Amino acid sequence: MVGRRHPPCSPPGFTEFNKRICYDTYDVTPLIHTGENAIACRLGYGWYAGHMNLSDMCYIFGYLPKVLLQLELQYADGHTQVVASDESWHSTLGGSIRYSDPLAGEFQDLRLEQFGWDMPGFSAVSWTPAFTIPRDETPITWHRTQHVTRNRTLRPKNHHEVSPGVFVFDFGQEFSGWCRLTTDGPAGTHITLRHAECLNNDGNISVQNLWGTLQREDYILDGKGPRTLEPHFTWHGFRYVEVRGLTHAPTAQTLIGQSVRAEIASTSEFECSNPLYNKLMHATRWTQWNMLFDVPTGCAARAERLAWLGDIRDCVNTAMLNMDTAAFFGKYTVDIRDSQTPQGRFCDITPHAQLRGSEICAGSPGWADCGMSLPWDLYLHTGDKRIIERHFTVARRWVDWVAGNNPGYLWANQRGQDWGDWLSAGSPVTPKELAATAYFARSADIMSRMAGVLGEQRWQQHYAMLFAAIRGAFTKAYVSADGTIQGDAQGSYALALEFGLLDEPLASKSFQKLLVAVQRAGGHLTTGFLSTRALMQALSRFGGHNVAARMANQITIPSWGYMIETIGTTFWESFDAYEKGKPVILSLNHWPWSSIGEWLWSFVAGIALDENQPGAGGVIIHPRPVAEVVWCRGRITTARGPVQAQWHRHPHAFTLEIEIPPNCEATIKLPVSPTWTILEGGRSVVHNPEVMLLRSNKRERVLSVASGKYAFECRP
């Protein structure tokens, strides 16, 4: 076909290829013309056969890339012609691309380029007939999520020559993608690009934390003049690029960064009076953007492109508040079902890829439980009951499998890889059995709620009783009368409180123990993958929001601020991945700590969805001014439209402006005492029929409003 277009960057995406393969469709009408036409394609190894994970894992689903293609021509007279890929096609291993791999990079020798290979009239006499094999019965389905596409371009902030002929470019931001190189030189000139997340002390790129991944492009020039070059079947995670072999000093046009990710729209705005909090939200967005590739990949740079449920679990709400990720997570929910083992275990790595058919990395506490929380979170955001209907049976199989192996209601047996509170920021660390039992309880609770959504009263009661039994066993086994929880770890208290495992007065006593544990750590967190989100949520929900706000405002190790105020532009795999003078060996772009975004939305912007009215039937507006932040404005886009809130604590007043979308109601919690006067639109709310006063206490006034715009002013 005559013409060019930018196709998706990694079609047809990633699934359990032995269970489901996605197809893509394109309208190519503008590319067809009268006379001769040609169909041509390049094949890369991709998710199917390329390197995707640690230990040089490749050829996960097959050894050779394959294509199944058909062109459907509908003529004016009504008849249809189909041109399909078959043995009449020709192929070659020749051409300029000598090597290409999703992780390692690409090698092009431009001297071997076959000009016109994809155009009518090209002579393919040196090519061989395409190798064809019968198609098996694996279902071919439509592509359920947004394609991976070119997102934005970035220009280097600076570059410097670290040694003769070796230049290091700094883009000032870690991103996923590749570089476009514009250069020229004599035939045979060999130019190399290597990509990295950080630098060594001497200014050279550091590659220790890539764990053997090359992240490299090689180009051999043909000497035929200036060329703009980029890879076809790879992407990297990087901030820095080392370039060798240039024949001229680099200019501003030499290297341009191309950001690549799933074509998911950003749908939120956030700004507050605290510059560090703004940086945290910025880093949250980039952290997640860089790993949205049909699945939520494990790393941006390192050799872990496969997706880990335990990494994404606590970050789903953040992603859905910041972006239009409903289709993305809807597709991933199908992946979770596809990968479930015959015994009922959800898989820690999903799709299970090279581990399919095994029990390795399957059924681990907090990782496999994402198979419960992710579809539940997705339902709460969208209100789409079909999500629960399609997932109900597999969800039951998971909870029943854990319950069947642990008749005492403590998750003591069959804990998979038993990762625990992975990469905890300090000590003491949450005990593994305790954390596992907390997640067992949470999954049973979600199971009961799912049954309630579907009107399955029998199962709702059954799993509610299971949840109650686990709560009782948890308290008996791990909680002392004074509120001390086994391990005396921040994570122990956070999980118990956030998952609703304690009755009063134990809950209040344990919360006080949590405050002591935070104080003992100097106001820093000591939690890991399983409990960091729960820590921030529990602190703010149970009356310690000032403590959480100070923790989020820390800039010393371990803290979110430390990552951003040192070398980070995204959140790392561990809070101490970088320490001055020490080599970096862990990823600098990882999911878990981006859960701080949800805390910023719920407790700083004061915007949260009402779980009792899924699909944004209701929202909660609850500003919480503290010393660290005195004003904030934010906007999210819900299933019913945008929700906006802007609040400001003045020396002698508090103001709040909100916008609530149609078919949505808002519960507003104003942080003022009962003696304050509340005006809306300049008149007292007492005389405003559009505002209903629900209740008040010494700390707040609670109001209810329908959709619309409101401006509140509160004065003593």
Q: What is the pLDDT at residue 1?
A: 47
Three-class SS state of 94: coil
Q: What is the pLDDT at residue 8?
A: 62
Average pLDDT over residues 566-572: 98
List the catalytic residue out of 304, 433, 598, 680. Answer: 304
pLDDT at 435 over 70: yes
**Predicted confidence band of residue 3 (pLDDT cuts 50, 70, 90):** very low
Give 532-554 as a 3 state SS string: HHHHHHHHHHCCCHHHHHHHHCC
pLDDT at 386 over 80: yes
Q: What is the pLDDT at residue 53?
A: 78
Q: What is the pLDDT at residue 10?
A: 67
Average pLDDT over residues 398-420: 98
User: CA-to-CA distance for 67 and 51, rounded, in angstroms?
Assistant: 19
Does residue 690 have an active-site annotation?
Answer: no
Q: What is the average pLDDT score of the chain?
A: 95
User: CA-to-CA distance for 504 and 500, rounded, in angstroms?
Assistant: 11
pLDDT (tens digit per residue) in 489-509? 999 999 999 999 999 999 999
Q: What is the pLDDT at residue 7?
A: 58
pLDDT at 522 over 50: yes
Average pLDDT over residues 537-560: 98
Q: What is the pLDDT at residue 291?
A: 97
- Contacts for 678 with CB less than 8 Å, ≥ 6 apart: 670, 672, 684, 685, 701, 703, 712, 713, 714
* Closest by CA position to 490, among listed 442, 582, 426: 426
**Predicted confidence band of residue 712 (pLDDT cuts 50, 70, 90):** very high
pLDDT (tens digit per residue) in 466-485? 999 999 999 999 999 999 99
Does residue 573 have an active-site annotation?
Answer: yes
User: CA-to-CA distance for 149 and 140, rounded, in angstroms?
Assistant: 22
Three-class SS state of 694: strand
Angle value at C-alpha 524, between 522 and 527, nearest 5 degrees: 130
Q: What is the pLDDT at residue 270?
A: 98
User: CA-to-CA distance for 338 and 14, rounded, in angstroms?
Assistant: 12
pLDDT at 288 over 70: yes
List the catalytic residue out of 16, 174, 217, 573. Answer: 573
Q: What is the pLDDT at residue 57?
A: 80
Question: At residue 221, what is the residue type?
Answer: L
**Predicted confidence band of residue 58 (pLDDT cuts 50, 70, 90):** confident
Average pLDDT over residues 551-580: 98
Flag whether the pTM goes above 0.75: yes
**Predicted confidence band of residue 154 (pLDDT cuts 50, 70, 90):** very high
Average pLDDT over residues 79-102: 94
The DSSP result for 452-472, as a single string, is: HHTT-HHHHHHHHHHHHHHHH
Three-class SS state of 647: strand
